[in-house]
């Protein structure tokens, strides 16, 4: 997939995953790179920025194996941004689909 494309949706992907449950960074990276190949390191700058913008709260939680993990929790503000981005996303793919599958739908 096109690089610019991936970057644009990365934010939506992270927000959507965190809507379901709180995650730590490594989990988020895995969840995303399972489906889409990304340069894994870029998730962390994104998480940091979105945290600073108030979309997430972080907390440390002990784990059975190894050191405590930093978990991210979606805030209300984060969720409303997620909602907006999701609408934009559907709007966008609908428009693209109209053109890409044009001869099926128009005629």
Task: Using CB under 8 A, list all residues that contact other proteins.
Answer: 3-4, 7-8, 11, 24-26, 29, 33, 39-42, 44-45, 47-49, 52, 65-67, 69-70
The CA distances from residue 7 to 1, 23, 50, 60, 103, in Å, are 10, 20, 14, 27, 30
Angstrom distance (rounded) from CA 42 to CA 33? 12
Q: Minimum Å distance from CB 47 to other proteins?
A: 8
**DSSP, res 61:** E
Q: Minimum Å distance from CB 105 to other proteins?
A: 30
Q: Minimum Å distance from CB 88 to other proteins?
A: 15
For 71, list phi and psi in degrees, rounded to 5: -95, 150
Q: Which is nearer to other proteins, 25 or 75 (CB)?
A: 25
Q: Minimum Å distance from CB 107 to other proteins?
A: 36
Angstrom distance (rounded) from CA 86 to CA 48? 21
Q: Which is nearer to other proteins, 19 or 61 (CB)?
A: 61
Collapsing DSSP to helix, strand or coil, 23 comes out as: strand
Q: Which is nearer to other proteins, 37 or 98 (CB)?
A: 37
């Amino acid at each position: 997939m096109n690089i610019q494309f991936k970057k644009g949706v990365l934010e939506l992907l992270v927000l959507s995953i965190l809507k379901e449950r709180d995650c730590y960074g490594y989990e988020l990276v895995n969840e995303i790179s399972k489906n889409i190949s990304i340069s894994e390191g870029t998730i962390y700058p994104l998480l940091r920025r979105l945290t600073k913008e108030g979309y997430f709260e972080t907390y440390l939680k002990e784990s059975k194996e190894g050191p405590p993990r930093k978990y991210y929790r979606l805030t209300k503000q984060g969720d409303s941004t997620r909602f907006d981005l999701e609408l934009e996303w559907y709007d966008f793919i609908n428009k693209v689909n109209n053109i890409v599958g044009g001869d099926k739908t128009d005629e």
